[in-house]
Amino acid sequence: MFLDRFGARAALAATALLATIGLAPAVAEPIAVDVHNKSYVTKCAEEDNVYYTLTSPKVAAFTITAETPAYVDTIVRDRHAPDFSGCTFGHSGGADGAHYTPPTAVLWEDDEYVLKGVVYPDFWRPTVVPVTVGKLTQNFLHLVQLWRKTPAGPVEFLVFYPQDGYWRLKALPPFRMREVAYGSSFLFGPVEESTRPFVAYKAVSFDPETVTFTIDFAKGGKATVALKTIDVGKAAVDVAFDGVDLSKLPFAALRSMYVAPGNADTAEIVVRPTPGAAPTSSVVVDWKDGKAADVAFTRTVPSTHNTSAPDIGFRAFRDR
């Protein structure tokens, strides 16, 4: 029954997604997109030195996956504490910041999911982005969290920041673990750059029936983010654009960190250059720009930083 109920929701989400982009499954054509590597080398494990952008004026939809790393069964200690040993800066929160508990409110809940909103004292982009769930609208949320109810208790698996457009996704944990860590962040929509990359949102709404977010962009157009899969070891969302001008700016980006293979939130990039082609892999900071029909950011060596964080994939790019 647990999976049957989710299957019904997934079917509704898929129907909503196809209606949004105006395509039937047989019509959407797979395409390759341009992938640009803007990463650089660092010794600091708390610096997002891995930065990739994806560009294509034709992309209409794609899928983002989060898969628990293949070595998860070998994890004895899941390390996720900050490591400032190689950094020129330290933790800015101080002793008081370490114990600060931000106000959190339940925005919506049913027998399968919980949606929460979190407010912090400040944020680097102090913009107002209304988040609407049914008749409830909140104007000052800094973080939105989606939780899945499981027999072991609720598990948070999807978060995003409405003010700068950063998202994180992870799978449900293996049965021997209470949770797994987040790692790499991703963005979608017209990706701009300031002190850090961002996507400017105008408004966000959530449809509980289909477990789908609708994002209205400040630059025009919108995207739907429909939950496709949430299970042990794998999670996925489908992103579809409607009326978004992607001719001049990237449509997606990944932010992460890499110091060494054993100290990284992502260490390798795996690229399939065209649909059906064999994939190739490279160290994430060394790969040169190229085409990709799908691209994943993975780890094969257990990391001392966010050990259980997922591999993130951008897949199934579809034409307009």
Report mean pLDDT in 10-residue bins for the chain, 320 residues.
47 52 60 98 95 97 97 85 84 52 93 96 88 95 97 96 97 90 97 96 97 98 98 97 97 98 97 94 97 97 94 94
Q: Residue 280: how many CB atoms within 10 A of its CB?
A: 12
CB-count burial class (<10 Å; 0-12, 13-18, 19+) for 151: exposed
Q: In Å, how far from its chain's centre is CA 69?
A: 16
Task: State residue 241's pLDDT score.
Answer: 98
Closest CA to 106 of 89, 118, 91: 118
Alpha helix segments (H runs only) across the chain: 2-21, 94-98
Task: State residue 89's pLDDT score.
Answer: 79
Task: State residue 79's pLDDT score.
Answer: 83
Q: In Å, how far from its chain's centre is CA 218?
A: 20
Q: Residue 244: how many CB atoms within 10 A of its CB?
A: 21
CA–CA separation, 64 vs 172, rounded Å? 16
Specify the pTM: 0.89
78 neighbors 91 (Cβ within 8 angstroms): no
Contacts of residue 291, defined as CB under 8 A and 6 or more positions apart, other chains included, come to 32, 33, 34, 35, 273, 274
For residue 130, what is the DSSP state?
-
Share of the chain above pLDDT 70, in %: 88
Q: Which residue ranges make up each domain of the chain?
A: 2-85+101-319
CA angle, 152 then 155 then 158, to 5°:
160
Task: State residue 277's pLDDT score.
Answer: 93
Task: State residue 124's pLDDT score.
Answer: 79
Task: State residue 123's pLDDT score.
Answer: 86
218 neighbors 237 (Cβ within 8 angstroms): no
At CB < 8 A and 24+ separation, what contacts does 88-93 make? Answer: 88/44, 89/46
- Phi, then psi, of 251 in degrees rounded to 5: -95, -10
Question: Which tokens belong to 292?
Answer: 């990709």
Q: Residue 276: how many CB atoms within 10 A of its CB?
A: 7
Question: Which tokens belong to 136?
Answer: 């409830």
307 neighbors 80 (Cβ within 8 angstroms): yes
Q: In Å, how far from its chain's centre is CA 74?
A: 25
CA–CA separation, 222 vs 287, rounded Å? 31
Task: State residue 1's pLDDT score.
Answer: 37
CA–CA separation, 118 vs 104, rounded Å? 4
